[in-house]
Amino acid sequence: MAKKYNNVLPGFNLSLGFTIFYLSLIVLIPLSAAFIKTSTLNLHEFWVAVASPRVVASYKLTFGASLIGASINAVFGLLTAWVLTRYTFPGKRIIDALVDLPFALPTAVAGIALTAIYAPNGWIGGMLAPHGIKVAFTPIGVVIALTFIGLPFVVRTVQPILEDLEAETEEAAASLGANRWQTFTKIIFPAIAPALLTGFSLAFARAIGEYGSVIFIAGNMPMVSEITPLIIITKLEQYDYAGATAVAVVMLVISFILLLGINGLQWWNSRRNSPAI
């Protein structure tokens, strides 16, 4: 007869029940409603709704810009977290607080501010325009907006890991003859890689569904700078609810597959770097 072990913290069954109930109420039921509404379309209607040239162009822009923005944040977010954890300088607390600004700032306000700055008559756009570089109302503007809203995810995910990584390990590596690049690639990066990948995943997922900060700077030109969330809003305004949910389902499935792959890569990386027992 198998011996039953009591958990040190009781109440697992009750806690698990409440967890499943809460996730079902907040996540599963709304998502299932989208699938149910989409099921009212036949195969041809579904394909027309999700695979028209305009919608496909929005997929490419949304996922491509999200990937580029998350990749930029993975690099500069790591650099920002490194500076905030490894150095002491005047104004450090202010910079640390500014990292969280995209969290607190309404996305529509962020979009208007970015548009004003990068428009041809804006502060930065005015300097780029004479060189033939147009940012606002182009895919470049979409990438900038998605990079703006995704930065805190990477910084706040990597920063605690760098704080827990003692500087003595770097000093020990240097004393053994390792240069700075070897110390980073052999000591620091393996320790922060899972957190960095998590921050990248969060920034990427956040960017895919972003709407408010993008619609102003994108210009929303079909086949050029129109994002998929705007396609969904447009279909809703046209009372094409089934078509809107069909596009949403495609976005949901693609996002889930990508995030599942990223999480699998993270699991593989953490297992590969974990010491054998």
- The reported pLDDT for the residue numbered 51 is 92
Q: Is the dihedral of CA 29, 34, 40, 42 positive or negative?
A: negative
Is 14 within a domain? no
For the chain, the straight-line distance linking the first and the last C-alpha, in angstroms and rounded, comes to 29
Of 134, 124, 196, nearest in space to 160 by CA: 196
Q: How many CB atoms are closer than 10 A to CB 254?
A: 15
- When divided into structural domains, the chain yields a total of 1
What confidence score (pLDDT) does residue 272 get? 67
User: Is residue 70 in some structural domain?
Assistant: yes
The answer to whether position 216 is within a domain reads yes
Alpha-carbon distance of 32 to 46, in angstroms, equals: 17
Task: Return the CATH number at 88.
Answer: 1.10.3720.10
Task: For residues 217 and 204, give the distance between their C-alpha atoms in angstroms, rounded to a whole number.
Answer: 19
Q: Give the percent of the chain with pLDDT over 90.
A: 34
Could you tell me if residue 143 is inside a domain?
yes
Report if residue 30 sits inside a domain.
no
Is residue 19 situated within a structural domain?
no
Model pTM score:
0.84
Rounded to 5 degrees, φ, ψ at 228 are -65, -40
> Considering only CA atoms, which of 101, 46, 169 is closest in space to residue 178?
169
Whether 9 is covered by a domain: the verdict is no
Residue 163 has a pLDDT of 86
Q: Has residue 4 got a pLDDT over 60?
A: no
Residue-number span of the structural domain to which 54 is assigned: 39-273
Which pLDDT value is given to residue 259? 79
> Hey, which of 61-65, 187-191, 262-266 has the most confident mean pLDDT?
61-65
Which pLDDT belongs to residue 277?
45
Q: Is residue 5 part of a domain?
A: no
